[in-house]
Structure 1
Amino acid sequence: MPPSVIKVNCFWIYTSICLCCSQARVNIPRNGSVPALMAFGDSFMDSGNNNALITVNKANFPPYGRDFMGGKPTGRFSNGKTIPDMIAERLGVKDYLPAYLDPSIQDNELPTGTSFASGGSGYDPLTSKIANVIPLSDQLDMFKEYIGKLKRIVGEEEANNIIEKSLYLVSWSSNDWAITYDAVPIRRLHYDVPAYSNLLVNMATNFTQEIYKLGARRIAFFGTPSIGCFPFARTIGGGILRMCGDKFNEEAEFFNSMLKNQIQVLGNSLSLSRITYIDYYKLVQQIIENPQQYGFDVVDRGCCGTGVAEVAILCNKFSPTCPDDSKFLFWDSGHLTEKGYSIVVDHALPDLV
């Protein structure tokens, strides 16, 4: 595959986007083209907003964060940095993206962005209610509050400039399918897969229109990954051999196709926007199907505990961990290792800049 060409202000960057190349790291020069990063969504984007909640969806205890700075568990659902941290780092914005509800966050950190995401949440408000986490609507309210703070810190003109030029990451839907549609099949009683996909896409559309009204222009939607091949889904729906759960993947693919089409429509209707679809499904699946090419030995279970079921509070200080997490795609049964996220980000980044 020929290299892609990215133009960022006066810099031309040539980078291969071949998915069989695990070391194709992309680093964008620090040139101010992306002044800040904002993240909305679920545990793939949560930097610790769930820490103060009464919920089982937490990761602010060992062994989570063992490879983060100083080995500190921060509420990130991995052994180290996650997607928004790495994108912020690659773009030269900051070393990691703090959680908006982190009590230690300082005013001088806000102009370069923050995460409003909440592990366990979804487009569907029922999903967040089941998990007792921060729903989409509240994340949107947090963003509105953030804008007010930003105007007080840097002034209205500069705040508007930051909001307009920032990159917005959005990752919902995995919990909608895994929890609300399958594990606790409340929505399945009233919706078939096309109807539920349509419901979620409408919610994604409304969210996009709301943040666009608030000034957002560069928005990147991550589709549902191949959750049927995540360790927890293999355990639940993969039979004795723990094969990929086809039902989960079929639901994800159907929804992704609808979301991708709607993003094209939104891009045309919101004339000043640049809305991008990131094929999270394909990125993860290609790693799972070709693990050795990316330096992985294990892709069917996580590093934490037995690796087949442990996630959130089930992955704790009493859980044994694998000796070398760089050989594992998954950290726990529902989230990638830092290395796994890094590969995903490296291949997604050319579509973001």
Structure 2
Amino acid sequence: MIRTVYKVVHFCLYACLHLCCSVAMVNIPKNDSVKAFFAYGDSFFDSGNNNFINTVVKADFPPYGKDFIGGKSTGRFTNNRTVSDCIVEKLGARDYLPAYLDPSTQDKDLLYGVCFASGSSGYDALTAKILNVIPLSDQLEMLKEYIEKINMIVGEEEANHIITNGVHMVSSSSNDWAISYTAVPIRRLEYNVSAYANLLLNKATIFFKELYKLGARKIVVFGTPYIGCFPLARTVSSALLRNCGKMFNEEAQTFNYMLKSQMEFLRSSLPQSTFCYVDYFKITKDIIDNHLQYGFEVADRGCCGTGVFEVSILCNELTPICPDDSKFVFWDSLHLTDKAYNIAVNHALPELMDCVI
């Protein structure tokens, strides 16, 4: 784990780029066969798992969660709900997805799915190691433990049904580019962009196949978002002008093209599987570039503090916040507001429904 102030600040400059759901009315067909939702990956999905591990990557303090139920800071890296929360709410499953490591998560909650995601994690195990968060390999181990628990609760047959008919959602890769390739550029010294994208693709494929071996059949994969136009990337690339970081977006798209193609291959090669790719880059680009049309006034900085660098421990109870976060696309310099997440998830619903129905 990185212990120097220099590297912690670099985490705050590049970590966890993730998002959530729209205000427009959407008609969702009810499907009783889908009982559970599972989330893996990073802070776009993390609903509080990082609260229970030894890492600096946390959001369990104000002003995070100020609009969540009871104004509670749950460890979600936004003012209210994460992407996965928005998804389960819109699909009628529950109000939010609980964190697996949260001791308050009860047996009855487990039957409807949980979140295994960890803020600042990625497909590359090095990414999680740098900031001492939960790598995808450990998230798989948590899933195995979860399966053992529900076997004890409902029996093996019903437990298998829950996993097989559940929707397994993955959001990763942003931190690989932000941390391992840029902030602490270990991978940049070893790989060019296309080679690193290929490395990430191989690691992602291994993870998806392991999910499949454990019984997952409906797998939703979010691509890397429009990260070059996130506030912190703008600060790094063009602090005063607030221009987008073209390099970051090119890296994201290099990987996304490979990932989407791989989803199609896996869908055709793994029997009875459904892999759904969500073009998160396109969705977040649309929201940021056309923010005025969605009722936002600010898209180049976050609501917390100056909005140009504050994230995680730098966005805290001593940090002033904007008077109306509904006017901001971003909550902090790397994560969207609940309103923006809702819009994002509404845009993702057509792809999501391919895996849900």
TM-score, length basis structure 1: 0.92
Contact 2:46 / 2:116 at 8 angstroms: preserved in 1?
yes
Q: Which residue of 1 aligns with 2:180?
A: 180
Tell me which amino acid in the other structure corresponds to 1:118: S
Alignment of 1:7-18 (within 5 A): none
- Once residues 287 and 222 of structure 1 are traced to their aligned partners in structure 2, the CA distance between those partners, rounded to angstroms, is 16
Higher relative contact order (CA 8 A, sep 6+): 2
Tell me which amino acid in the other structure corresponds to 1:205: T
- Once residues 196 and 25 of structure 2 are traced to their aligned partners in structure 1, the CA distance between those partners, rounded to angstroms, is 37
Q: Which residue of 1 aligns with 2:194?
A: 194
Contact 1:47 / 1:98 at 8 angstroms: preserved in 2?
yes
Q: Which residue of 1 aligns with 2:243?
A: 243
- Once residues 272 and 181 of structure 1 are traced to their aligned partners in structure 2, the CA distance between those partners, rounded to angstroms, is 36
Contact 2:23 / 2:339 at 8 angstroms: preserved in 1?
no
Q: Which residue of 2 aligns with 1:265?
A: 265
1:9-31 deviations in Å (ceiling 9; x for gaps): xxxxxxxxxxxxx6433252544
- Once residues 154 and 26 of structure 1 are traced to their aligned partners in structure 2, the CA distance between those partners, rounded to angstroms, is 33
1:148-168 deviations in Å (ceiling 9; x for gaps): 111111111111111111001
Tell me which amino acid in the other structure corresponds to 2:279: D
Secondary structure of 2:111 counterpart = helix
- Once residues 24 and 240 of structure 1 are traced to their aligned partners in structure 2, the CA distance between those partners, rounded to angstroms, is 34
Tell me which amino acid in the other structure corresponds to 1:215: G
Q: Does 1:67 align with 2:67?
A: yes
Q: Which residue of 2 aligns with 1:168?
A: 168
What displacement does 1:93 show?
1.1
Secondary structure of 1:170 counterpart = strand
Contact 1:27 / 1:90 at 8 angstroms: preserved in 2?
no
Alignment of 1:102-141 (within 5 A): 102-141=102-141
Secondary structure of 1:168 counterpart = strand
1:294-344 deviations in Å (ceiling 9; x for gaps): 110000000000000000000000000000000000000000000010000
Shift >2 Å, 4+ stretches = 22-31
Tell me which amino acid in the other structure corresponds to 1:181: Y
Contact 1:34 / 1:91 at 8 angstroms: preserved in 2?
no
Q: Which residue of 2 aligns with 1:350?
A: 350
- Once residues 68 and 274 of structure 2 are traced to their aligned partners in structure 1, the CA distance between those partners, rounded to angstroms, is 32
**Structure 1 residues 76 and 151 mapped into 2: Cα distance closer, same or farther (>3 Å)?**
same
Q: Which residue of 2 aligns with 1:324?
A: 324
Q: Which deviates the most, 103-112 or 232-241?
A: 232-241
Tell me which amino acid in the other structure corresponds to 2:213: K
Tell me which amino acid in the other structure corresponds to 1:149: K
Alignment of 1:76-87 (within 5 A): 76-87=76-87
Tell me which amino acid in the other structure corresponds to 2:73: P
Gaps of 5+ in 1: 1-21
- Once residues 343 and 155 of structure 1 are traced to their aligned partners in structure 2, the CA distance between those partners, rounded to angstroms, is 38
- Once residues 77 and 142 of structure 2 are traced to their aligned partners in structure 1, the CA distance between those partners, rounded to angstroms, is 21
Q: Which residue of 2 aligns with 1:147?
A: 147
Tell me which amino acid in the other structure corresponds to 2:48: G
Q: Does 1:299 align with 2:281?
A: no
Secondary structure of 2:321 counterpart = coil
Q: Does 1:38 align with 2:38?
A: yes
What displacement does 1:45 show?
0.6
- Once residues 97 and 65 of structure 1 are traced to their aligned partners in structure 2, the CA distance between those partners, rounded to angstroms, is 14
Tell me which amino acid in the other structure corresponds to 1:148: E
Gaps of 5+ in 2: 1-21
Secondary structure of 1:241 counterpart = coil
Secondary structure of 1:271 counterpart = coil
Tell me which amino acid in the other structure corresponds to 2:173: S
What displacement does 1:92 show?
1.3
TM-score, length basis structure 2: 0.91
1:57-86 deviations in Å (ceiling 9; x for gaps): 100000000000010000000000111111
Contact 2:23 / 2:342 at 8 angstroms: preserved in 1?
no
Q: Which residue of 2 aligns with 1:224?
A: 224
Tell me which amino acid in the other structure corresponds to 1:199: L
Contact 1:291 / 1:298 at 8 angstroms: preserved in 2?
yes
Aligned length: 332
Secondary structure of 1:96 counterpart = coil
1:19-44 deviations in Å (ceiling 9; x for gaps): xxx64332525441321000000000
- Once residues 351 and 180 of structure 1 are traced to their aligned partners in structure 2, the CA distance between those partners, rounded to angstroms, is 29
Tell me which amino acid in the other structure corresponds to 1:262: Q
- Once residues 279 and 33 of structure 1 are traced to their aligned partners in structure 2, the CA distance between those partners, rounded to angstroms, is 26
- Once residues 170 and 53 of structure 2 are traced to their aligned partners in structure 1, the CA distance between those partners, rounded to angstroms, is 21
Alignment of 1:278-297 (within 5 A): 278-297=278-297
- Once residues 114 and 26 of structure 1 are traced to their aligned partners in structure 2, the CA distance between those partners, rounded to angstroms, is 24
- Once residues 174 and 310 of structure 1 are traced to their aligned partners in structure 2, the CA distance between those partners, rounded to angstroms, is 18
Percentage of matched positions with identical amino acids: 65
- Once residues 80 and 195 of structure 2 are traced to their aligned partners in structure 1, the CA distance between those partners, rounded to angstroms, is 37
Contact 2:329 / 2:339 at 8 angstroms: preserved in 1?
yes
Secondary structure of 2:87 counterpart = helix
RMSD of aligned Cα (Å) = 1.0
1:90-133 deviations in Å (ceiling 9; x for gaps): 11111110000001110010000000000010100000000110
